[in-house]
Amino acid sequence: MSKSFFVDTTLCTACRACQVACKQWHDLPAEETKNRGTYENPADLSFDTYKLVRMREEVIGGKLKWLFFPEQCRHCVEAPCLDTAGDASAIYKDAATGAIIFTANTKGMNVDEIIESCPYNIPRKGPDGTLAKCDMCLDRVQNGLLPACVKTCPTGAMNFGERADIVALAKSRLFAVKKANPKAALLDTDDVNVIYLVAEKPSLYHKFAVASNAAFDITRQVALRRMFTPLTNIVSRLL
Amino acid sequence: MTNHWIDIKNSDCILIMGSNAAENHPISFKYVTEAQQKGAKVINVDPRFTRTSSRADIYTALRSGTDIAFLGGMIKYIMDNKLYNKEYVANYTNATFIVGKSFKFKNGLFSGYDSKKRKYDKSKWAFAMDAKGVPKMDRTLKNSRCVLQLLKKHFSRYNTKLVSKITGTPREDLLKIYQTYAASGATGKAATIMYAMGWTQHTVGVQNIRTMAMIQLLLGNMGVAGGGVNALRGESNVQGSTDHCLLWHIWPGYLKTPRASNVSLDAYNKKWTPKSNDPLSANWWQNYAKYSVSLLKSFFGEKATKKNDFGYSWLPKVDDGKAYSWLDLFDEMYKGSIKGFFAWGQNPACSGANAGKTRKAMERLDWMVNVNLFDNETGSFWKGPGVNPSKVKTEVFMLPACTSVEKEGSITNSGRWMQWRYQGPKPLGNSLSDGDIIIALGEKIKSAYKNSGTFTQPIRNLKWDYLTNGEYDPHKVAKEINGYYLEGPKKGKLVESFGKLKADGSTSSANWLYCHSYTEKGNMSARRSKQDAPNNIGLYPGFAWCWPVNRRIIYNRASVDLKGQPWDKKDWVIKFAGDVKGGKYVSKKWVGDVPDGGWYPLENPDGSKREDAKHPFIMRKHGHAQIYGPGRADGPFPEHYEPLECPVEKNLMNKQRINPVAPIYKTKADAFATCDPKYPFVGTTYRVSEHWQTGLMTRPQPWLLELQPQVFVEMSEELAKLKGIKNGERVLATSARGSLKCTAIVTKRFKPFKIAGNTVHQVGFPWHYGWRWPESGEEESANLLTPSTGDPNTRIPETKAFMVNVKKI
């Protein structure tokens, strides 16, 4: 059994404490930003930004909604990035938690293909070609602490625990939220360990809120391809 | 807060108006969302759709500065539909009091107005008294001169059609909100208000809050769990610093600063001690002299004797009728009459209204001492934008202060909870705690006055014995605040609570409200019990300490009926549990929170009246909460007036455009523009989650600057189109006082208002920025635009409603 997050966007106030806590725990530098005519900043995830609260203004049924989506790696149950890399020293799944972990050995791999394989467009390339993303605060979790983003969340939007408990919590919240929001849904529950609850159409929150239909099919294609290409990566790294 | 943060979870309806709690008090949303999940309705009213609005069940917009019109409409709705809680109103508020014949209201003016002095003679608003000197009352509420009937008449003009014309809020939204909120008038239901500077920073700031307090009283929401009037403080310790006399007009514990006309201690105590002839009124302030003398004993120790008026004559007096607020001090500084200035833990070059005037004023000082964590726009004003350092004579000293985590001491939060905090790391470099700086300064001044000087007694006689091993000791100060027995068998012991303080000099207390916080039992504010009280409503009486006497919900005697039994059987605050014999209470016992006075309830179980009871609002002279408030500078009832700068020629509610007693300053730097085509748009200022105050602690923090890197102006898509402004481009905002370059955020979250048939646009700016950081020096303070006028009672500046223009650069 793995660990999972439940991100209840119906409770998120976009205070962005999670975004800052993530940087603080991982000691990531701030990016130089400009106000782009929105509160959302930086503009995208990056090698130095693992967590980003997406903020979208949408008029739905004649009413203005400000939709918040704290974006992060989903720690997929069957992670396409892991399959694509095909090298456990670069990308592996932590057995106890289910966290998908990128290591320094991602440097020199075909990182664009790994990025491409992610149905949620999460991994980002550093200046030297190393990949980075959310690591579930594995060091904290292994020491009995909550991930930094969960620990800092004031409203209960961010939750973390055993997968079975988290799925149960997600379902009970969906049931409660659905009464007033018939469009409410849990996103890709079976495939991911970061389960989002949204009240509106997922694509309104973020382009990559849900995996495209084909995404997990690609996983299978990649797995197949990997059978034939174990040497390619090794060779490319030797070069 | 009359209640406290955790108590928000007990509410059935939460109105967030005049604050942006989700963004500026993010932790409060832990309790807001908890209430919401239990079925509470969250209503948000704000000129702009915010992160708070995104979580509200009902959101609507109003034009900045029209809150009294909005809430006045709610009062009318409550009266017209008889939704007020009659039992509560008739027994616990002054709705029943008969108002004297000289009270009148006509053409927007209350009786007693002197247009030359721009002041009211408040004696015209007095109650009619009976032969014993008790206000005449009509508990049936039918007398046409009783407060409730006058209230009904006063707000009869506030119909939704007119309110909508003034506020720009659609009528259907007004009605929906009135209906939802007023449902809390039902017995056992509670609604709360979360407000902040969006209500206070107006020329009608106090009356904004009074209007809401009146609504809370009408609906029976004061004293109950999930109710109250709750100010969300802008700093962790604003409540504490106010309690300990941050403001010019009060001494610690809300005692009055003496006026020049209070020529002796006796005269001072007489002037400020209210008298009630009603045996059922506790009139708690009758104890005034016990608190003022104990304070003087705390200042001067053994040097304060009965013979020398306990040193009363050594303390400064303020001139009668003169104000000494922030606005007044900087006005005087601007005029050159103030020579020296301690800027202590503040950044007036960015934080004060009309920052340009403030910056200019500082050039006229001989010296300034800047005590702060870092250098700021205030300490460096002499090299600021447009200032030639060679032309500035002011000598500036910087004293580096350590941060809050580097020192021991207490903070008192919005909910009045005093919490002791231990020292973390030691102060960095040569920085010192505020206590150490004050002590060192005091010692230096004392030694300078040792042998010579003018009027030396106040300095020489000051009892400052707060050192342990040569260092400032916060425990000694905390104990001094609590107070000691100075004579008798308990001499040298800490006083148990303020009920024991004396007016004869035998006790000391540096703040009577805090007497009970540090006793022989120990430091109450350092307690950390996680056990709740028996009523299980989140009082946690053993966690920290709360003034007064650890009472977590004040006015809680109003949460019970006349027989002492709670209106709300589920989320009850207190209840009377004394023994009953033959239909009468025969022993005294309250359970739950610390009751607001432990007297018997007003009635026995058999309905007979008790002579030994007290009315529940014990801090009021007559024991009743004030729906009619004859003590305010601008009238006993609130009335809608436009902001000093506004977009309309006429006030649609009455013939006065602005608050007739709003302070007006007249230096060259005090320019105002109403209905001036040069400044056609309403402007307001606010905060964001990502920065704090003037940004001194957040702008140099790269992670926070990453989130909100630049000062911005938010505007509607309609206004952007009108002005040809593109989202994300730099624009110039101007007011009659200054200009500000900022980045345009063009958003659906601002919408143009329809005000009396005209389109009125509003824009808003965060005020967290200043030229010292970020390095570009391009991100300046929004207070360069704001006007120096304010509320006539408090003199808080009107930075929430003023007129501006925005244009492409």
**Region B227-253 average pLDDT:** 95
**Phi, psi for residue B710 in degrees, rounded to 5:** -140, 150
- Contact at CB, A30 and B702, closer than 8 angstroms: yes
Nearest by CB to residue A34, choosing from B49, B704, B710, is: B710
**Phi, psi for residue B457 in degrees, rounded to 5:** -55, -45
Contact call for residues B138 and B166 (beta carbons, < 8 A): no
Nearest by CB to residue B29, choosing from A13, A37, A68, is: A13
- Contact at CB, B29 and A59, closer than 8 angstroms: no
- Tens digit of each residue's pLDDT (9 = 90 or more) over B759-778: 999 999 999 999 999 999 99
- Name chain B contacts of A13, Cβ cutoff 8 Å: 22-23, 26, 29, 51-52, 54-55
- Name chain A contacts of B29, Cβ cutoff 8 Å: 13, 15, 154-155
Measured CA to CA, the distance from residue A6 to residue B312 in angstroms comes to: 63
- Tens digit of each residue's pLDDT (9 = 90 or more) over A10-30: 999 999 999 999 999 999 999
Nearest by CB to residue A16, choosing from B707, B745, B748, is: B707
Encoded tokens for B312: 């009363």
- Above 90 in pLDDT, residue A228? no
B320 CA to centre of own chain: 23
Helix axes B67-80 and B171-182, enclosed angle (nearest 10): 60
- Contact at CB, A35 and B708, closer than 8 angstroms: yes
Instruction: Report CA-CA distances (Å) from B92 to B87, B141, B222, B618.
Output: 8, 13, 10, 11
β-bridge partners, B715? B746
- Name chain B contacts of A42, Cβ cutoff 8 Å: 706
Q: What is the pTM of this model?
A: 0.96
- Name chain B contacts of A33, Cβ cutoff 8 Å: 705-707, 709
Calculate ∠ Cα B326-B235-B764, nearest 5°.
75
Q: What is the mean pLDDT of chain B?
A: 97
| Residue B669 three-state SS | coil
Residue with tokens 């730099």: B730
- Contact at CB, B709 and A41, closer than 8 angstroms: yes
**Region B181-193 average pLDDT:** 97
Q: 3-state SS string over B616-658?
A: CCCCCCCCCECCCCCCCCCCCCCCCCECCCCCCCCCCCCCCCE
Instruction: Report CA-CA distances (Å) from B303 to A39, B211, B310, B515.
Output: 59, 46, 8, 22
Measured CA to CA, the distance from residue B309 to residue B750 in angstroms comes to: 59
* Pairing of β B191-195 and β B13-17: parallel
- Tens digit of each residue's pLDDT (9 = 90 or more) over B126-149: 999 999 999 999 999 999 999 999
β-bridge partners, B574? B592
Measured CA to CA, the distance from residue B322 to residue B49 in angstroms comes to: 40
Instruction: Report CA-CA distances (Å) from B274 to B214, B269, B623, B636.
Output: 22, 10, 12, 18
**Region B398-404 average pLDDT:** 96
Environment class of B625 (CB within 10 Å of its CB; exposed 0-12, middle 13-18, buried 19+): buried
- Tens digit of each residue's pLDDT (9 = 90 or more) over B272-312: 999 999 999 999 999 999 999 999 999 999 999 999 999 99
Q: Chain A residue closest to B715 (CA)?
A: A37
- Name chain B contacts of A37, Cβ cutoff 8 Å: 726-729, 743-746
Contact call for residues B345 and B372 (beta carbons, < 8 A): yes
Instruction: Say what the pLDDT of residue A215 is.
Output: 55
Residue with tokens 């289910």: A98
- Tens digit of each residue's pLDDT (9 = 90 or more) over B430-466: 999 999 999 999 999 999 999 999 999 999 999 999 9
- Contact at CB, B708 and A23, closer than 8 angstroms: no
DSSP classification of residue B609: B
Radius of gyration over alpha carbons of chain B, in Å? 27
Nearest by CB to residue A64, choosing from B55, B710, B749, is: B749
- Cβ-based contacts under 8 A for chains A and B: 100
Instruction: Report CA-CA distances (Å) from B277 to B23, B24, B129, B352.
Output: 48, 45, 10, 44
Q: Could you report the predicted ipTM of this complex, rounded to two decimals?
A: 0.95
Shortest Cα distance, chain B CAs vs residue A88, angstroms: 33
**Region B501-517 average pLDDT:** 98
The separation between the first and the last C-alpha atoms of chain A, rounded to the nearest angstrom, is: 39
B467 CA to centre of own chain: 33
Q: Chain A residue closest to B34 (CA)?
A: A155
- Name chain B contacts of A14, Cβ cutoff 8 Å: 51, 54, 689
Nearest by CB to residue B49, choosing from A14, A37, A66, is: A66
- Contact at CB, B703 and A24, closer than 8 angstroms: yes
Contact call for residues B31 and B6 (beta carbons, < 8 A): yes
Diameter over CA atoms, chain A: 58
- Name chain A contacts of B23, Cβ cutoff 8 Å: 13, 15
Nearest by CB to residue A156, choosing from B33, B708, B727, is: B33
**Region A189-203 average pLDDT:** 97
Residue A173, chain B, CB below 8 Å: the answer is no
B617 CA to centre of own chain: 19
Helix axes B205-218 and B67-80, enclosed angle (nearest 10): 20
Contact call for residues B138 and B55 (beta carbons, < 8 A): no
